[in-house]
């Protein structure tokens, strides 16, 4: 049953319910999905959590290279691992 403050996002096409205020990078982690893949195909996710390292880049609503560590989720947000 959804909690009052829960919102639903999609991570790589799979619906995921998160608490309002959850960052997009945290949603990736909750879904056990990397934010992006390196040029050699290695999974990458956030390191610094404060917008400096760019390791958390992902595709957000079709826009590539969005840093997800400082981005709060909103209802209906579509998150995709960037390749």
Q: Which residues bind ligand FES (CB under 6 A)?
A: 46-49, 51-56, 67, 69
In the bound state with ligand FES, the residue whose beta carbon lies nearer, of 6 and 47, is 47
Report the nearest approach of ligand FES to the CB of residue 82 (Å).
13
In the bound state with ligand FES, the residue whose beta carbon lies nearer, of 3 and 58, is 58
Q: Is 21 exposed, middle or buried (0-12, 13-18, 19+ CB in 10 A)?
A: exposed
Q: Give the burial string for 33-57 (b: 16+ CB within 10 Å, else e).
A: bbbbeeeeeeebbbeeeeeeeebbb
In the bound state with ligand FES, the residue whose beta carbon lies nearer, of 19 and 48, is 48
Residue 66 CA to residue 49 CA, distance in Å, equals 13
Report the nearest approach of ligand FES to the CB of residue 60 (Å).
12
């Amino acid at each position: 049953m959804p909690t009052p403050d829960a919102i639903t996002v999609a991570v790589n096409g799979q619906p995921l319910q998160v608490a309002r205020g959850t960052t997009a990078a945290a949603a990736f982690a909750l879904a056990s999905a990397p934010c992006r893949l390196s040029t050699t195909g290695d999974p990458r996710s956030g390191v610094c959590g404060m917008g400096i390292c760019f390791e958390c880049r992902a595709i957000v609503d079709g826009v590539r290279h969005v840093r997800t560590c400082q981005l709060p989720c909103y209802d209906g947000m579509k998150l995709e691992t960037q390749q």
